[in-house]
Structure formats: C-alpha cells, structure tokens
A and B are shown apart, each in its own frame.
Chain A
Amino acid sequence: MTKSLTITRKDKEEADPPPLEILVLIKRLFKYTRPHAWIRNGLIMITVVRAIQLATISWAFSAVINGPIARHDVRGLVLGSLGFLALCVFTQMTMRFRSFWALILGESVIRDLRRDVFAHLQTLTAAFYQRMKAGRVINRMTSDVEAVRQGVQEVIFVCTVNGGQMVVAGIFLAFKDWVLFLIALSITPVIWYLNRVFRVRLSNSQRRASESFSRVTATVAESIDGIRVTQGFVRQELNAEWFRHLVADHSRYVLSMSRTNATFLPLLELSTQLFIGVLLIVGSYRVLVLNVPIDAVVQFLLMAPIFFEPVRVVGTQFQQGLSSLVGAERVFRLLDEKPDWTDAPEAVELPCLQGKVEFRDLSFSYLPGRPVLHNLSFIAEPGQTIALVGHTGSGKSSIINLLTKAYLPTEGELLIDGHEIRCVQSASLRSQLGIVQQQNFLFTGSVMENIRFSKPGASEAEIIEAARSLDLLDLLEALPEGFETHVGEGGVGLSVGQRQVVCFTRALLANPRILILDEATSSIDAVTEARLQKALGLLLKGRTSFVVAHRLSTIRQADLILVLDHGRIVERGNHAELTAQRGIYHRMHEQFVQNTTVRRGGEG
C-alpha cells in the first residue's frame, strides 16, 4: 500500500506543466553561447567548411574510380590519389578544431548555466525550499545540465555538418544525373514524416523517464538521511521492496523510450538500403535501355551513404537533442522559479539600527485562507528583550520567520526603526540580525571557518575574543583539535551541544543589533546551558532580542512577555504583571514550577 501510494502521490505533485515552446528553449539556450561568441562563430564557419570537405572527399574518391581507374589511366590515378590524400590531411585538421571548440563551447555553456542556477538558488525564499527537495535541485544541476551539454557539444554541430554534407553531396549528385537524384530526393519526405511521428512519442516518454529517475534519486537521498530510523525500526526489507518497485517503474519508462527508438532508427536505415535497391534497377535500366553512361550508377552507389548517412545521424542526434531540450527545460524552469517576493527596486539600505521593532496590526498566512497570525500589534523598544511564550503551533516560529524576512506579512505592517520591512533591502536587514535556532546548519570545514561564516573578514583573534566573551572558549578549545576540528556536512562530528556552542559564537561574531534566539539552548546539557545563560545575559544587553525559550529564568527577565495562542496575543506584560493577572501565563508558570519542585517539596 505504502509504495503505490507514494508513487501516485508524487505523480500528482509533478503533474506535467505544459512543455515550453521548443523554439523558445533553443533561443534561450543560444543566448548562453553569446559570451563565447568567437568560439561559436568560429565553429559555425568550420562546420560549413567541414560539410563541404566531407562531401568533396567522397566525390573525389568516386571520381577517381569513375575517371582514371575506369579509363585505365595510371598517370591520372597518381595525380587523383595525391589530391585525395591532401584533402584528407586538410579535413582532419579542421576536424581537430571542430571537436575541440565544440567541447569547449558545451562546457562553457554548462559552467555558466550552473553559475546562474546557483546564483538564482540564493535568491529563492524559504517557501521554495519547503516545496522542492534538495535531491531534485541537485538533479537539475547534474543530470539535466549534463544533457544540455551533450546538446550544445554534439547535437547542433553534428547536425550542421551532416546537413551541409547532405546538401553539398546532393548538388554533386544532381549534376551527375538528375533523374537518379530525384529518386533519392523522393525518400526525404518519408524520412521527414517518420521524424515527426516519433518526435512526439519520444519526447513524452523521455520526460516521464527523467521524472521517474529523479524520484529514484530523491528516494535514495532520503533513505541515506534517515538511515538511523530505518535500521532502528527494522524497515530495511520493506524499504528495499519499495525501492525495487520504484526502480522497476523507472525502467518501464526507459523501455518504452527504447521501444520507440528501436522502431525509429532501423526504419531510417532501411530507407537508405531501399534506395540502393531501387537505384540498382532504375540505374541499370537507364544504362542498358537508354544508354546513359554507367559511371553515374557507381557514383550514386558510392555517394549514397554520404547523402543518406546524415539522415541516420540526425535521427540519432535527434534523440539526444530531445533529451537536451528536456534537460534545458527543467533547468530553465528552475531559473524561472520566481522568488515569492524580491526586494522592491526602491528598497532602502537600512542604516545602523537602533533596534526598534513594531508589529502593527499584522496578519500572516503561509497558505491563502489559513492565517497563522491574527492582527498582532506590539512594540519592542531598542534594547528590550521580548519573550514569546505559547504552545507548539501558536505562532512563535512564524513571528521569527517574519522578523528574518523569510516571509512577508500578509496584512499589516512590520516596522524596523520605522522602516516598513517590505521597503528595506533584505541583506542590510539580515546583516544586522543574529539568529540562533534549535537545529542549526554547519558547513564542511573547520570550527573556525564555521564561526567566521557570519563575518567573512574576521581575524582569528576576533573569533577567539567572541568565544571568550561568551565564556565558551574552553569548550571550543577542548574539541579534539580545538578551533581546527573538522566539521562534516550538517555538523557531523560535533555533538548537538557542541554545534550549538559554535552557533552561539557565530551569532555573536556578527555583532547583530537584533538577536533572535529560537529555543536555542534547549538541546544543550544543563552545565553548558547554564553557562550560556550567563553569557547571554551580557549578549542581550544593548540589543533588541526576541527569545523563544523553555527556561523560565530567561522569560522572567524579559521586558515584555507575549503569550500566544493560535496566532493571537492572549496576554502581554512583564513577569510580575502576568503573574498578578493569574491567567494562562500564571498557570503555565505554576505548572513549570511544580514540575521542578513538587517532588523535592514532598521529600523535604
């Protein structure tokens, strides 16, 4: 049940959007060759030269056979064959540059594509990353971009060379015997028709195949991330069974693609062979009955491959071209992914902040029609500590998402030092904002590099000073290699508490005006937490801070406590005021105090 469920669900999720116009795709891809115009133009020239060369070589070969050899002229043979050799040398020299430049052009285009996609990814907002799996994005940057490369490196130029070769060979043949040439030409509409029929089929199965492939990739990625759970719950066999279905499903799509291919490509080749059969009988009739000279038949036989080979090659390239376009389409779709919002062009750069934050009648919803915050209004004066209290789902995280400008308010205003948050440049806001969450992401590299992440130019002394001012220096130095300890992706190699120590130091180093602590000390052991609490007292001083915490001690000292319930502020005030109100906060506080003291009291 589980497996079928997941497969259909993902199908729905990716319900094919209408394919982009092929011409538009090609134009857009072509734009990427513009920065490398000299290579591109050189290539176009060289492909034309090569097309002429290839047809000429074949013509020269058959001309020598039909001329000097058929006439039994030794001197003519020597001259003709030397000319042929010279042509060969010239052709291969051109070939060398043709392939070198094409390879370079393809690689350059995908390098630029990767750069653009990466840059674009940096502008997308949190909502996008909630929708799109990391594995999928990676797939765009690997297999899809790879397909584009093939298209740029191979398809365009191979097709040009072959098309040109066909035209030039056609001219030679038409001059030789226009009746036979017309027969050859009459086959081309058949081929064109075959192309059209199969194009549609191929592109459909291709798209399905690559979609099902990214399902495979995403599943593997998730299985690796969740390996502890899988093994702990002994789900290996079930997952494997499930995965086998997924892979088999993918192979079905691949097979339907190959069935189309298997019909298409032999048919193309067949057309050449049919031509030879027809040529033989029609040519012979003309020679025997109409007394046309025989050399035209031989020339056509020898040059038939040159005239028809392009059809076969283009057929093969066609498939490659389609998968390139499918790849390109997927990459461009990602590039077209609009950030849910961008900074308005007239957005101002925030000056050095005082730290006044005001929520003015603000409402917010992630999904239209499902508001999670209702008409919030409150003011945090510079330097104040605001504690957010409430159950899971009461809206604390949403307030923080708004403060960091990960999302924009749906209605109402959020003012920072009087600037409406929509009208400020995100970077200038974030650079004055520090945030420590419960689960923080660390990057591959040393502890030192991870701390420096918040302030790229910081010296080692500065970093050590930051750690010292938080009284965490000894904890960092106690790591196996101190500040040089290697951290793996996501923080592998450090315990949760150690990661948090790094994140605190990282946040402090940025010297933010506004500080957000989102359940920041909850995963740290009591000893470290106590030390962080002490240090945070100093850190909070002079900064506006928003604290979501479990610890009453932090909340007690807050200048303003907001008690949230289902997205509304139900109580507000400082600890003394709220306790006196004897409302929700009071009850929560009682419960907490009871939890920590009740048994002790009974025993004393």
Chain B
Amino acid sequence: MAQSSPTDGAIIRRLFALAWRYRWGCLRVLFFQGAMLALGLAGIALTGLGIDELRHAIQPNTPAPFWRFGLHPSANWTPMEVIALLSALVIGAALLRAYLDFTYRIAVDRLVQAELVVALRAEIYEKLQRLSFRFFDANVSSSLINRVTGDVQAVRMFVDQVLLQAVVLTLSVGAYLFYMLSLHVPLTLACLFTTPLLWWVTARFSKIVQPAYRQNRELVDGMVQRLSENIKGMPVVQAFAREKEEMARFQTANDAVYDQKISIFRKVSLFSASIGFISQFNQWILLSYGGYLVIQRSLPLGTGLVAFAIILQQFANQITTIGTIANSLQESLTGARRVFEVLDTPAEVSSVPRASPFEALNGPIRFENVWFDHGQDPVLSEISFEVKPGQCVAIFGPTGSGKSMLMSLLPRFYDPTSGRITVNGRDLRELDLDSLRRNVGLVFQESFLFSNTIAANIAFGHPEATREQIERAARVAAAHDFIMEFPQGYDTVLGEGGVGLSGGQRQRLAIARAVLLEPAILLLDDPTAALDPGTEHEIAEAMDSAMRGRTTFLVAHRFSLLRRADFVVVLDRGRIAQAGTHEQLSRCAGPYLQALKTSQPGALPAMIGP
C-alpha cells in the first residue's frame, strides 16, 4: 500500500539478505561453476597445444609448443604419441565437465525452485491471509495473484540469474583475462579496449528501458484486470448483449500493451546489434594485430592465436550476459518491490504480546463511544450500547448506514478508529485474536464457499470435526435434507465460489459452518436475505435454536426477524438513531416505525388499533 517506496539500494540489500539464507547452496553451485571453468580452459589450452605440436612436427622452423606449469612430455615421445595423449586429455576433461554440468544444473534448480520459491510463496501466502481487510479493499485481486506467482519468480531470479550469474561472470572473465594476459599483454589490451564502451552502452540501455518495462507491466496488469472482470461479469455482459463493446474495450487495453512493446523492441534490437558489433570488432583487432604478431613470430599460432580466438569468443559471450543480468536485475527489482510490499504491510489487526485468551462470556459486550472511518467521513460515530450475555441484538437501518461495518468490528476485521469494544470488561484488542475469532460465529450476507466437499466446507473452522458433528450442524441449518439429495451427499464437491448451489442452499451451509463452532457470539449479517419465504420460516426456527445460549448480533430488515431480538439498534448514517424493543420502537415515531408502515401497509391498523 502507499508507504514511502523504498530505494533500489534498500531492495537490493534485502535481496542480498535473502540470498544469504541460501549461502551454502549458492557456494556449492559456484564450486561447480569454478571447476567447469577450469576444465573448459584446460580443454582449450590442450587443443592449442595439439596444433602447435603438429605444426612444429611438420614445420620445425615454427616456435616449439609452449607447455605450462612445467608439465611436458619426455623428449623421446613421438609427436603422434603426444597428440594422442592430448586428445585423450581433451576427451577426459569434456567427460568430467559434462558430469559437473549435470550436477550443477540439478543443484541450481533444487536451490531455486525447490527451496527458495517454495519458501517465498508460502511466506507471502501466509502473510496475505493475515492482512487486514483494508489491504484487500485497496488492492485488486489480479495484482495480488501475480505477486504470489509471477513476482516470486522474478525475486528468485535475483539469486540464480543475477547474483550467481554475476559471480560466474566475474570468475570467468577474470580467468579468461588472466589467461590472455599470460599469452600476450599488448594484444589482450588491444582486444579489450572496447570493453568500457560495452559497459557504457549497457548502462545507458538499462536506464532507458527500465521505466518502459515497468510501464509495460502496469499495462499488462490493466489488461488482465479487464479480462478478469469480463469473465466474472459474463452473465451481465451476455444478458445485456454487450459482447461487442467489451471486445472493443479489451482490444484497447490489448493494443496499448502492443504499442508500448513495439517501442521497447526498437531499443532492444538496436542494443543487441551494437553489442554484437562491439564483440566482433574485438575479433577483428585480434585477427589484424594477432595475425601480425604471428607473422612477426612473437606469438604461437595454436596456443597463441587460435586459443586466443576461442577464449575471446567466450569472453564476449560472458560480457553479453551483462545485458541479460542487467535485465534480470531490473525484473527482479520490480518483482521484489511488489513482493516486499506485501510482506511489509503491517497486519493492522493483530494480537498484542501476551494477549489473553477469550474466556467464557459471562459479562456484557459493550460498545463504548466507538467511531470508525476509512480516513474520510466517519462510517460509524458515537456508537455506545451494551448487550448482556445470551441476548440477541438486532441492527436495523437503511443501506449504507454502517450495519455491516459495525458487525465487522466484533471479530476485529477492522479496529475502531476511536473508542473501544469490551467483552467481560476487557478491550477486544487485549484478547488473543485467533481465540476471539474462534468464539465468534459468522454468517455473511453473501457466503463464500470453497472448492471442496460440502463436509469440508461445513467443517471449515474446525477441520477435525467428526461426520456426526457436521451432520448435526447441517440439521440445525436445515441443510441436511438437500445435502442428502446429492448423489455424493456430504462428499459432493462444490465449484469455485460454491457454484452449483442456489443462494438459499449456500446460505444454509454457511449457517451450518458457523453453528459447528459452537461460538459464544453469533454474528448473522442479514442471513435470510437470500432465502424464499418458506425456507426463511424453517431457518428462522433453526436460528432460534442456534441463538439459544449465545449472544447474537443480527442484521436484518425483515420485521419477522427483528421481532425476535431482545432489542433493536436503529442506525442512520453511522449513528444510533433509535434503540429499544420491537414493541417500543413500533409505538414511537421514528425511522423504524416509518419503515414498518411502508413495508406492511395492510397489517398496520391491527397494531395501532388498541
């Protein structure tokens, strides 16, 4: 969310800290790389030796082969024997290198894919689940999904594509440089004098392209957002026959991504061509100057020019990986920013240290001058009332009056901006959050069910529940009969969001889910909204038994339900407008009576009559 955005430096430091956690794995990988590098160089040197040996054998006036480290074959070996030995060594080095390569690749993927990515994904997911609702109100779901999937991969790139690659780059460039310098210092310098230019071009390129890539990511996000909305709203789109307009809207977003990409491509292709030219220019210098040196007899052809050419090629290959590394760095920084943003968002609502567990509810629940706002106009103001244990309080009010918000304060989905809510005389914030929520049973207006079996959905808050407990809860919620009508009964699998069930069935499962927990406090946020009159009647009685012995908060706008409450709190624009029993409120003028009149004109005289 909108915290001051950290600098690149700070993010890189954090990424280093992340890599440090995997330092042993990284070291192992680097060891393999070092060994492979050495074997590769040995192969080149041995090949060069072979050529020189051969040339010397047929043209004795060329310089004698140059053996390193004081290793040389005894003088009585024939050239053919020496070459056979060299070739055997080349093959041996290649075999060993292939084996090391195999181990290396496995080690990297295990480190990155099996450890780092898994740990990171688990960490973000866990964090996401603890974040307060303000966070979810402020972020669209598609961007959050991306953070667990794509952005995590971008973060791990920092370890294998940036950090490890950079070390490998340094190692191999160092080794090649050493090797070349040991052959011929001026030739090395001449061949490499363009390298600073290469660095400069790369740096400039990444400066230009970095913001462009960032913008592209945002455009893609926007496009995915369009798509996701379209899919979720497909019934509406099709019902209003708006397919064509939706296609046009999507195409605009799609084209925006395309157009912006093209401008990036123009730069990328220019960049790669100029980098390629610089490395070929080096080869040209080698050919001209190195060739001249061979003609002057100050450089051997095989171990000198040919080996130099091969190494220079590999040197150039390594240097071009700078571009890739720079790209990966950018990508991993962007990803890391988005990942860390989630990890750093404080879970606004959390337990204080040494919070006490929720104990049996034997005192009242008290709202003491509670205010709440989202940073602008107050959503709730000056809310004070008290509910005795076992009582049922109904909240009534027009749309947008703050009923759902008031309910959200009890399980601490949000904390009051000022004032407090006490249970048994203790502030909710002093209680252990999990133990509080376990004691609050919830039924929402629109119930979300997970793609799982009916039994698992009912047992959502208590996964160890036995089948008997689940069935008992289902019976209380009048859900047992319709569940048994499915061929698989309680093992019927529900789709995403519980599709395949009617609104009423969904709601009954939600009630069963809440009842199963045997909560001390029951929150019913307009649970019968989705039910037809017949079912509402069944549920109403089921609710009576569920509410028995529990302190219940009930949002309702049906008078049949409101009448069941011990008293009714009438909200209007976030304030308590009226409070009292249904009977009291239906006798005095006010919003409650007004609503009663408009809703049941026919029934009214009977009530006012006596």
Contact = CB atoms under 8 A, between A and B. Distances in A.
B448 A255 contact: no
A65 B101 contact: no
Nearest to B103: A262
B473 interface: no
Contacts of B141: 221, 224-225, 489
B110 A255 contact: yes
A234 B438 contact: yes
Nearest to A140: B227
A235 B460 contact: yes
B588 interface: no
A41 interface: no
B610 to A, nearest CB: 5
Majority secondary structure of chain B interface residues (helix, strand, loop or mixed): helix
Residue in B84, B453, B532 whose Cβ sees the most chain A Cβ within 10 Å: B532
B231 A129 contact: yes
A538 interface: no
A77 B291 contact: yes
A510 B109 contact: no
Nearest to A93: B273
A178 interface: no
Contact of B87 (A234, A281, A498): A281
Contacts of A276: 43, 47, 90, 94
Contact of B254 (A92, A115, A506, A603): A115
A550 B533 contact: yes
A228 B133 CA distance: 8
For B47, B93, B150, B444, the residue with the greatest tally of chain A CB atoms inside 10 Å of its CB is B47
Interface in B117-157: 117-118, 121-122, 125-126, 128-130, 133, 136-137, 140-142, 144-145, 148-150
In this complex, the member of A72, A104, A133, A233 whose beta carbon has the largest number of chain B beta carbons within 10 angstroms is A233
Interface string A487-504: 011101001111001000
A236 B600 contact: no
B247 A122 contact: yes
B420 interface: no
B288 A81 contact: yes
B533 to A, nearest CB: 5
A353 interface: no
A433 B398 contact: no
A2 B241 CA distance: 41
Interface string B519-540: 0000000100111111111001
Contacts of A495: 399-400, 404
B129 A230 contact: yes
A595 B560 contact: yes
B255 A277 contact: no
B212 interface: no
B595 A247 contact: no
Interface in B535-575: 535-537, 540, 557-560, 563
Given A121-B231, A490-B232, A288 B269 contact: no
Interface string A72-94: 11100110110011001101110
Interface in A524-551: 524-531, 548, 550
Given A231-B437, A273-B90, A527-B398, A121 B503 contact: no
A100 B266 contact: yes
A277 B231 contact: no
Interface in B495-512: 495-497, 499-500, 502-505
Interface of A is mostly: helix
Contact of A280 (B47, B130, B453, B502): B47
Interface string A248-292: 100110110011011101110110011011101101110111000
Contacts of A269: 97-98, 101
A404 interface: yes
Given A234-B437, A254-B113, A604 B607 contact: yes
Nearest to A128: B234
B113 A226 contact: no
B194 interface: no
A61 B287 contact: yes
Contacts of A341: none
Contact of A243 (B51, B125, B313): B125
B26 interface: no
A391 B532 contact: yes
A318 interface: no
Interface string B219-262: 01001110111111111111111110111001100110110011
A247 B503 CA distance: 33
A224 B144 contact: yes
A189 interface: no
B90 A85 contact: no
Interface string A196-230: 00000000000000000100111011111111111
Interface stretch (B66-74, B276-284, B360-368): B276-284
Given A133-B496, A217-B149, A391-B532, A77 B87 contact: no
Given A100-B269, A284-B79, A456-B242, 14 more contacts: A88-B281, A114-B254, A122-B234, A217-B149, A232-B411, A233-B442, A243-B122, A258-B106, A259-B109, A270-B98, A277-B87, A297-B54, A527-B594, A550-B536
18 contacts: A2-B463, A111-B258, A115-B251, A118-B250, A138-B224, A213-B149, A228-B448, A232-B413, A243-B122, A252-B114, A255-B113, A288-B54, A288-B79, A430-B240, A488-B140, A497-B399, A501-B399, A601-B606
What 10 pairs between A and B have smallest CB-CB spacing? Answer: A497-B399, A273-B94, A233-B461, A262-B105, A392-B504, A530-B598, A266-B101, A258-B109, A100-B269, A277-B91
